[in-house]
């Protein structure tokens, strides 16, 4: 009887992960109603994507990560250094990437002697804008170790240009002004290149937004 009790106690204390429920967002505070609402919305979207054989992108602004995922599994993770958006409420739903960032591909010369130079991560852009459908743009901006005032000014300039473009288009089309939802992500330059490499045309993107507590 004593032995049986000892085995039972050992079993209970040595297998903690068996009984543990999987949590999609381990950083989520279960007492945060708004955070829970956002997490369930994202999960509802993600379930639709994970049910099909494809890879997709989860931009987690709460956890500050960009994840390439498939079947709910995180395949690759990129840390976000900073982000900004003036249209946070519009960043919901599933967006499709219209086209991956362009890359200059080298052409094979048939019959030429020697090895043809392949493309590599270094050939990928580090500073680019992703256009999505329904209408949304994501600017990926590289962060450099010694980020200067000039770089900051360039980022501000881009944001300003985005507003000017929108204003100009609303002038000519004579339609009420509805700005395109825009998100700016600052990530390390090599991570920006890695992201550009991993994206494919038509890839689905879901964004988890922070909530005001």
Residue 24 CB, nearest approach to other proteins (Å): 4
Quote the tokens at residue 14.
Answer: 């040595």
Residue 188 binds other proteins (CB under 8 A): no
Q: In this chain, which stretch among 86-94, 108-116, 153-161, 172-180 interacts with other proteins, using CB under 8 A?
A: 108-116
Residue 114 binds other proteins (CB under 8 A): no
Residue 194 binds other proteins (CB under 8 A): yes
In the list 9, 75, 156, 168, the residue contacting other proteins (rule: CB under 8 A) is 75
Residue 67 CB, nearest approach to other proteins (Å): 10
**57 within 8 A of 206, measured Cβ to Cβ:** yes
- In the complex with other proteins, the residue whose CB is nearer, 24 or 155, is 24
Binding mask 42-71 for other proteins (x = CB under 8 A): -xx-xx--xx-xxx------------x-xx
Residues 153 and 156: their CA atoms lie apart, in Å, by 5
Residue whose pair of structure tokens reads 């990129």 in the numeric block: 78
Residue 176 binds other proteins (CB under 8 A): no
In the list 1, 3, 5, 115, the residue contacting other proteins (rule: CB under 8 A) is 115
By C-alpha distance, which of 65, 72, 84 is closest to 155? 84
Residues 66 and 74: their CA atoms lie apart, in Å, by 10
Residues 6+ apart with CB under 8 A from 58: 42, 46, 66, 67, 69, 205, 206, 207, 208
Residues 17 and 74: their CA atoms lie apart, in Å, by 19
In the list 89, 116, 148, 175, the residue contacting other proteins (rule: CB under 8 A) is 116
In the list 5, 13, 21, 145, the residue contacting other proteins (rule: CB under 8 A) is 21
What is the helix (H) or strand (E) element at residue 36, kind and residue range? helix 33-50
Residues 152 and 67: their CA atoms lie apart, in Å, by 26
Size of the site for other proteins (CB under 8 A): 48
Residue 22 binds other proteins (CB under 8 A): yes
Quickly count: other Cβ atoms within 10 Å of residue 103's Cβ: 12
Quickly count: other Cβ atoms within 10 Å of residue 106's Cβ: 10
Q: Give me the residues that bind other proteins (CB under 8 A), please.
A: 21-24, 28, 30-31, 33, 36-37, 39-40, 43-44, 46-47, 50-51, 53-55, 68, 70-73, 75-76, 103, 105-108, 110-112, 115-121, 123, 194, 197-198, 200
């Amino acid at each position: 009887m004593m032995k049986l009790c000892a085995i039972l106690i050992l079993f209970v204390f040595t297998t903690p992960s068996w009984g543990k429920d999987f949590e999609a967002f381990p950083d989520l505070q279960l007492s945060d109603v708004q955070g829970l609402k956002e997490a369930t919305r994202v999960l509802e979207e993600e379930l639709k994507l994970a049910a099909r054989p494809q890879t997709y992108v989860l931009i987690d602004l709460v956890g500050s990560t960009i994840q390439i995922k498939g079947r709910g599994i995180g395949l690759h993770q990129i840390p976000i250094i900073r982000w900004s958006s003036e249209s946070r409420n519009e960043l919901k739903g599933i967006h499709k990437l219209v086209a991956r960032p362009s890359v200059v591909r080298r052409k094979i010369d048939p019959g030429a002697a020697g090895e043809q130079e392949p493309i590599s991560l270094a050939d990928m852009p580090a500073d680019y804008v992703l256009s999505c459908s329904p209408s949304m743009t994501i600017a990926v901006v590289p962060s450099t170790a010694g980020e200067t005032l000039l770089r900051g000014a360039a980022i501000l300039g881009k944001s300003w240009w985005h507003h000017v473009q929108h204003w100009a288009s609303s002038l000519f089309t004579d339609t009420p002004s509805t700005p395109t939802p825009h998100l700016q992500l600052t990530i390390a330059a090599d991570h920006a290149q890695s992201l550009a490499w991993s994206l494919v045309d038509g890839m689905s993107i879901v964004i988890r937004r922070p909530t005001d507590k």
